[in-house]
Amino acid sequence: MPRYLVTGAGGFLGRFVCEQLIARGDVVRGLARGDYPELVRLGVEMRQGDLADRATVLAACEEVDGVFHIGGKVGVWGKWFDYFQANVHGTLNVLGACREQGVTQLVFTSSPSVVFDGADQRGVTADAPYPTRWLAHYPHSKAIAEQFVLTQDGSDVAGSGMLRTTSLRPHLVWGPRDHHLTARLVERARAGQLRRVGPGGNRVDMVYVENAAAAHLLAADELALPEPKNAGKAYFVTQDEPVDLWRWVDEILALVELPPVKKSVSATAAYAAGAVLEAKQWALRDFKSEPRMTRFVARQLATDHWFDKEAANRDFGYRPAISTAEGMRRLGEWLRAKAEGGRGKAE
């Protein structure tokens, strides 16, 4: 019976990975900074601690066969040290613990933004080069961490042969229990703060959360084989079909009976506004509250970014099992229940 550690187990994607592992009968240990009794009730052995603490990570990796390293710091604003500490130093701790504790499989959760340079990306393959300039600390720190993970494939581990590693790059993960992407989108729309950036029509890849989680399990199963096809490689994980970004945003808003986005701002103006707002908060040393616009977000919202969809299927059999239409139906149910729950508390 395989034994797995899931870092970031209490997060959006991490929780779905835990649930899918438990559902198929695997033994699961979770590492998170917070307390998650719902995962304990599910059957996950939870450990509480920070990825930056070597002793915590070393203990969490004891007697496990594989690690899903999902935890880290996300976002588009903050101090470089905080992103480096969580995403780079934390990943180095995971790699070191894998080697010392005899862990033989490591699936790293990366992001397509590690190869985003601010320009349109169409049909990009995973061997695309990393940028030479960065618009945010998150993709920069994840790119450094990913390179460490991939270069450590085939390294010796204590008493178990070698460590096999792979990196997955899911893009725009969405679905029920998402308190970041879709929930914040709805919140801004209700506050009248949502603007379309650019003329619209830009196509982007995204992935429903349960499909993203399933891709992680498939990647780990491939790594467990004697000659894994995905070892030492990175993969984009998507719904297999890009969407018109702003039409999709309107469809999400329609799930909670909100009107489509009417107002717009040019891509150039949004980028300039992002630069000004970043400079203002930098001058104030305000790294806690996120600017309403940043250069990275402006570019992400106005450009095409869709990726090679065949490599993940070819090397470890990933295809999205849950359609976008079904995922949207489930997301709508969750958003409406969330809204009704909020009204109930208010009443």
Q: Where are the domains of the chain?
A: 3-178+205-243+306-323
Summarised one tens digit per residue, pLDDT across range 152-185 is 999 999 877 899 999 999 999 999 999 888 888 9
Q: Would you call 138 a catalytic residue per the annotation?
A: yes
pLDDT-derived band at 139, boundaries 50, 70, 90: very high
> Choosing from 4, 36, 83, 138, which is the catalytic residue?
138
Q: Which of 274, 279, 268 is nearest to 303 (CA)?
A: 268
Gap between the terminal Cα atoms of the chain: 48
Pull the structure tokens for residue 157.
């581990």
- For 228-253, what is the mean pLDDT? 97
For 45, other C-beta atoms within 10 Å of its C-beta total 15
- Tell me what pLDDT residue 344 has: 45
* Domain 3-178+205-243+306-323 classification at class level: alpha beta
- Is the pLDDT at 51 greater than 50? The verdict is yes
- For 183-190, what is the mean pLDDT? 90
Summarised one tens digit per residue, pLDDT across range 198-209 is 999 999 999 999
Give the CB-side neighbour count of residue 20, counting CA atoms within 13 A.
18
pLDDT-derived band at 1, boundaries 50, 70, 90: confident
- Tell me what pLDDT residue 347 has: 37
- Is the pLDDT at 260 greater than 80? The verdict is yes
Summarised one tens digit per residue, pLDDT across range 96-112 is 999 999 999 999 999 99
Measured between alpha carbons, how far is 194 from 90 in angstroms, rounded to an integer?
A: 34
The reported pTM is: 0.95
User: 3-state DSSP call for residue 325?
Assistant: helix
- Is the pLDDT at 345 greater than 60? The verdict is no
Measured between alpha carbons, how far is 245 from 103 in angstroms, rounded to an integer?
A: 40
What mean pLDDT is reported for the chain?
Answer: 95
Long-range contacts of range 180-188, CB-CB < 8 Å, 24 or more positions apart?
Answer: 180/12, 180/74, 182/252, 182/331, 182/335, 183/335, 183/338, 185/249, 185/252, 185/253, 186/252, 186/253, 186/256, 186/258, 186/335
- For 78-94, what is the mean pLDDT? 97
Summarised one tens digit per residue, pLDDT across range 227-239 is 999 999 999 999 9
pLDDT-derived band at 263, boundaries 50, 70, 90: very high
- Tell me what pLDDT residue 346 has: 39
- Tell me what pLDDT residue 232 has: 98
- Is the pLDDT at 145 greater than 80? The verdict is yes
- For 34-48, what is the mean pLDDT? 96
- Is the pLDDT at 36 greater than 90? The verdict is yes
- Tell me what pLDDT residue 342 has: 60
pLDDT-derived band at 142, boundaries 50, 70, 90: very high
